[in-house]
Structure 1
Amino acid sequence: MKVVVLRDRGSTLAVVFILIFMVAFMAPLIYMFLSAAGGTLFLMLFIAFALLIFGGGLYGVIRVRSASKKAEAFFSAAEFSDSAVSIPGEMDFEVGVLEMRGWWSGGKNRTYHVSRKFTAERMSRGPRIPFIDGEFKAAVYSDGTGFIRAPAVRVLSEPYRDVVLLFLTSKGRVEGEGTVTVSTQEDSAQVSFRGDGKLIRGSVYSTLTKARRVKVALTTEGFSFEKILGAGTSFEFSTLMLPEESTVVVGNYKTVSPRSLAGSLGGETLIMGHGEFTLRAILDIRLRPDVKAEEPFRVEMETGEVEESGENEFQEGWGF
């Protein structure tokens, strides 16, 4: 089992910059306050407002660093095996599903936003958390725009309160096969694909006159971006739709985001999981809009003794 810790400490450079700028900005104001004969009330209000702004920025960075340290402390204390996560002593935790969505707003000075929703299905207490082999889905662009939905555990007890574990199982298989044909009067391309275990793989054959190349892309419902799997005239492509090995992601509920998760798993556009996905064939034509055609395929969760035993372990171990 692979373990990933989200170490989002915030920028040390940002802390230093805020402190230096605050000192440089406040020193003249304090001097004016001490030497001014009048207008001291206005200066006091202005200084208080400036301290509030700088203090808010500093608090935000410190909060991120503190949350990251709590997740790292949990990782250091826990023991991870292929079937469970164990820590010294007992703790209270919720078992459920974590849904996150990240997006950007603004123009040049953009701001990253995250919405989080943890839906608790049951509460438990104990020193051991069995690995949850449940369906998940992740579609995140390289800048953090996108969504993640995965089985998760949220710790309720100190000193690890709000530490969250996301479970990305490797169990599943890509189902289906087909052909995507995209054409114009001058160009045509045929993309054949099939499921091969955890992989979606295929080949491209084309006859191009005006089009520069054919691109094969992967996307899914609710995601406005694409992951390019290959480009050219005739080529083969493949990509994993599930992790090579089951993965536990350790983070803090207050700071975990699609951007931090995708960054920890390679930093590129991330599309994987269970459910329905779309394979898209694209004719890249110079000075004209792209011509597209697409076909859906599915990634199905494997069911069997492993899932049943995991469910029974929750029921027997904590009385459910």
Structure 2
Amino acid sequence: MRIVVMEVYETRFLTQLITAFLVLFVSVIILILLTLVSGGASREAFIGISMYLIFALIVIGLMLFCLKKMKEGPRKATTLARNCTPEGNRLTFPLELEFEYGRVTLLSHPEKRRSARNFQILKRERSSSIEFPPEEFKLSAVVGRGFASFPAVRVLSGPYERTVILFMTSRGVVSGKRLLTAALTEGHVDVEIEGRGGRLIGRFYTPPGGRGRFEMTMSAPESPEVNVRIADSSMQGFEYPLLPEESTVIFCPYGNLDVDNILRTLGRTGAVMGHGQFLVKLRSPKPRARKILEYPIEVRLEEEENWEF
């Protein structure tokens, strides 16, 4: 079981911004003071710069206070992740906590600054451990837009309040096997795709002298406008994982939970993965990006008795 902590871009960006502001502010103040001293400035000038300095210090104090409050959520998530102990398919907390089992759904659009977020509560418990829920998840997103749905636990009490734990199981099987033919102006190209374990395997067959090119993308019905490129016809074959190599647990503050932060945490700029139906598309390359054909594949969650991570 892999444990990761969500990278919160907003907090890191604000920290860098405030640090740069402080450096600039201190530099300007030092320069002004040196100029006043060397120029033999009057007492009124020193009073004026002192008032400006007091006002600036108040503003800086407010900024640092806001930054501290913003860092509380990520700090709680990091501390809980560090103190949790994985045992088989369970996570043991450092103390007894009250929490909610449920499912979190995120929907992101470029027009909105934050993802639309919904946490559907299934049950509430109080315990010192939780079981990795054997449930489906789905992620179809690029930076700025996309859809995500994860089984989740939201902590309600103790020093880790409002920390959310997302679960991504590695269990599942990609189903589907098909020979697809892309008819292009310059000829045609055949591509054979097959589900193998948690991966989609493909191979291209280009006739001698064939010059037609296309790209293969994947999307999900929940966000059809998101198309993640997985291969193109210049490749002889390809392999695309639709499930993580190992089951993954993501700790994050609820207030910073959005699609972009999930992608950054996974080290991706775009991802289509999880369970359910996905659409494999053959398209002409940009700038036209015309869809040539589309084929659905299914990723099923298979459960077995006494399964572990």
Distance in structure 2 (CA, Å) of the matches to 1:272 and 1:231: 19
Letter in 2 for 1:269: G
Equivalent positions of 1:126-275 (< 5 A) are 126-141=127-142, 143-207=143-207, 211=212, 213-221=213-221, 222-233=223-234, 235-275=236-276
SS of the residue aligned with 1:113? coil
Deviations 1:132-166, CA, capped at 9 Å, x for gaps: 1100001121x242121010000001200001110
TM-score (normalised: structure 2): 0.81
Which of 84, 97, 105 is matched with 2:103 structurally?
97
SS of the residue aligned with 2:226? coil
1:63 matched residue in structure 2 = 69
Instruction: Indicate yes or no: 2:18 matched with 1:15.
Output: yes
Equivalent positions of 1:263-302 (< 5 A) are 263-284=264-285, 290-302=290-302
1:86 matched residue in structure 2 = 92
Cα RMSD of the aligned pairs, angstroms, is 3.2
Does the Cα contact within 8 Å between 1:180 and 1:280 map onto a contact in 2?
no
1:316 matched residue in structure 2 = none
Does the Cα contact within 8 Å between 1:205 and 1:233 map onto a contact in 2?
no
Shift of 1:283: 3.4
Does the Cα contact within 8 Å between 2:281 and 2:291 map onto a contact in 1?
no
Distance in structure 2 (CA, Å) of the matches to 1:210 and 1:131: 49
Does the Cα contact within 8 Å between 2:193 and 2:202 map onto a contact in 1?
yes
Further displaced range: 54-63 or 77-86: 54-63
1:317 matched residue in structure 2 = none
Deviations 1:59-103, CA, capped at 9 Å, x for gaps: 654333221111111112211233111123211000000112233
Does the Cα contact within 8 Å between 1:77 and 1:87 map onto a contact in 2?
yes
Distance in structure 2 (CA, Å) of the matches to 1:185 and 1:193: 23
Change (3 A) 1:289 1:300: closer
Does the Cα contact within 8 Å between 1:78 and 1:86 map onto a contact in 2?
yes
Note the residue ranges of structure 2 that are not aligned, 5 or more in a row: 33-43, 49-54
Shift of 1:178: 1.2
Distance in structure 2 (CA, Å) of the matches to 1:186 and 1:140: 32
Deviations 1:42-61, CA, capped at 9 Å, x for gaps: xxxxx89xx88x88865654
Distance in structure 1 (CA, Å) of the matches to 2:157 and 2:271: 32
> Percent sequence identity over matched residues?
26
Note the residue ranges of structure 1 that are not aligned, 5 or more in a row: 36-46, 106-110, 311-320
Distance in structure 2 (CA, Å) of the matches to 1:223 and 1:299: 17
Does the Cα contact within 8 Å between 2:139 and 2:271 map onto a contact in 1?
yes
Change (3 A) 1:304 1:166: same
Distance in structure 1 (CA, Å) of the matches to 2:62 and 2:294: 48
Shift of 1:19: 4.4
TM-score (normalised: structure 1): 0.78
Change (3 A) 1:19 1:248: same
> How many positions carry a matched residue from both structures?
288
